[in-house]
């Protein structure tokens, strides 16, 4: 023990102790400042607002702020392609320079899906199915068929479209629907107020015939139709059926 105490009183021990303290101090400072540099302590900045910008505008903002970015894309019907709709971290969050900001944008290319089966569906059902598949009805065409408002055919770009065919989301299709009439039926024309020659032209043009003529007529050329049977309340009549007319010069 006496030798240890004597050694602790020597200049050699004091020098070694000083050197050790200096080494520990320098090591501490290196670690402290090294960590500050590595973690960029005090270098925090707010994440800019990027939602609503185009992807090109967002990239310019991030480049100017010294931030990195990673871009993902989704498709939305009727949304502007290339628009930023989500960002992570959120605006105003504090991040270090060089931090990666994750952006979600609207893709410019619509993904394709298999066209659903809507033949023999009524218009309401077909509309719901198409909406669920991000498709739209561009037009409706009615043809003579007893199945009223039932889908008989589907066309895309003027060509028949069958179930299972791949089509881009957001596409508009044309539905061919039945009008509730048979192939040999037409709507009853309204000829009230027409002259006899005008009424004959309208009736015969639909494949119908002029039936009985009645009324008080002093001048056939100027007489006009004041009543017809059947009238338009019946709506539908078979081709070749007669329309009876009541004429009057008054």
Q: Which CATH number is 134's domain given?
A: 3.30.10.20
Given 156, 178, 200, the domain boundary residue is: 178
Total domains in the chain come to: 4
Question: What per-residue confidence (pLDDT) applies to 234?
Answer: 76
> Residue 99: pLDDT above 70?
yes
Q: Which helix (H) or strand (E) segment is 201 a member of? A: helix 196-205
Both 130 and 153 in one domain: the answer is yes
Question: What per-residue confidence (pLDDT) applies to 8?
Answer: 60
Residue numbers of the domain that contains 222: 185-248
> Residue 123: pLDDT above 90?
yes
Question: What per-residue confidence (pLDDT) applies to 132?
Answer: 93
Q: What are phi and psi of 162, to 5 degrees?
A: -100, 155
Q: Are 98 and 67 in contact (CB under 8 A)?
A: yes
Question: What per-residue confidence (pLDDT) applies to 6?
Answer: 65
> Residue 33: pLDDT above 60?
yes
Confidence grade of residue 108 (pLDDT, cut at 50, 70, 90): confident
Over residues 36-46, mean pLDDT: 64
Question: What per-residue confidence (pLDDT) applies to 103?
Answer: 92
Cα distances (Å, whole numbers) of residue 110 to 66, 106, 168, 169, 200: 32, 10, 6, 6, 54
Question: What per-residue confidence (pLDDT) applies to 201?
Answer: 92
Worst-scoring range by mean pLDDT, 5-9, 31-35, 57-61, 173-177? 5-9
pLDDT tens per residue, range 179-205 = 887 767 788 899 999 998 899 999 998
Share of the chain above pLDDT 90, in %: 37
Read out DSSP for 99-125?
PEEEEEEE-SSPPEEEPP--TT-BHHH
Q: What share of the chain is helix, strand, coil (3-state, %, to 5)?
A: 30, 35, 40
d(CA 212, CA 246): 8
Half-sphere exposure at residue 72, Cβ-oriented, CA atoms within 13 angstroms: 10
Over residues 220-249, mean pLDDT: 87
Given 147, 178, 209, the domain boundary residue is: 178
- The three-point CA angle 45-47-53 to 5° equals 145
The chain-wide mean pLDDT, for the chain, equals: 85
- Give the three-state DSSP class for 6: helix
Residue 99: CB atoms within 10 Å: 19
Q: How far apart are the first and last CA of the chain?
A: 146
Question: What per-residue confidence (pLDDT) applies to 42?
Answer: 53
Over residues 57-73, mean pLDDT: 90
Over residues 130-140, mean pLDDT: 92
Both 129 and 167 in one domain: the answer is yes
Given 106, 123, 151, the domain boundary residue is: 106
Both 57 and 30 in one domain: the answer is no
- The three-point CA angle 149-175-240 to 5° equals 55
């Amino acid at each position: 023990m006496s030798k240890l105490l004597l050694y602790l009183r020597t200049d050699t021990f004091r020098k070694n102790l000083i050197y050790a303290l200096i080494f520990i101090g320098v090591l501490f400072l290196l670690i402290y400042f090294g960590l500050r540099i590595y973690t960029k302590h005090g270098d925090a900045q707010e994440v800019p607002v990027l939602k609503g910008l185009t992807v090109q505008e967002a990239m310019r903002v991030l480049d100017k702020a010294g931030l990195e970015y990673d871009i993902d894309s989704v498709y939305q019907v009727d949304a502007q392609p290339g628009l930023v709709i989500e960002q992570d971290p959120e605006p105003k969050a504090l991040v270090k320079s060089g931090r990666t900001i994750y952006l979600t944008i609207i893709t410019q290319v619509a993904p394709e899906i298999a066209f659903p089966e809507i033949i023999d569906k009524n218009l309401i059902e077909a509309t719901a199915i198409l909406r669920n598949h991000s498709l739209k009805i561009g037009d409706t065409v009615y043809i003579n068929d007893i199945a009223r408002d039932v889908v008989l055919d589907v066309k895309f770009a003027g060509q028949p479209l069958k179930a299972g065919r791949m089509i881009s989301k957001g596409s508009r299709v044309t539905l061919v629907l039945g009008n509730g009439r048979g192939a040999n039926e037409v709507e009853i024309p309204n000829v009230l107020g027409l002259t006899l020659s005008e009424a004959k032209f309208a009736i015969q043009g639909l494949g119908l015939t002029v039936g009985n003529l009645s009324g008080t007529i002093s001048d056939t050329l100027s007489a006009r139709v004041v009543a017809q049977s059947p009238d338009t309340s019946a709506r539908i009549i078979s081709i070749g059926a007669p329309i009876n007319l009541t004429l009057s010069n008054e």
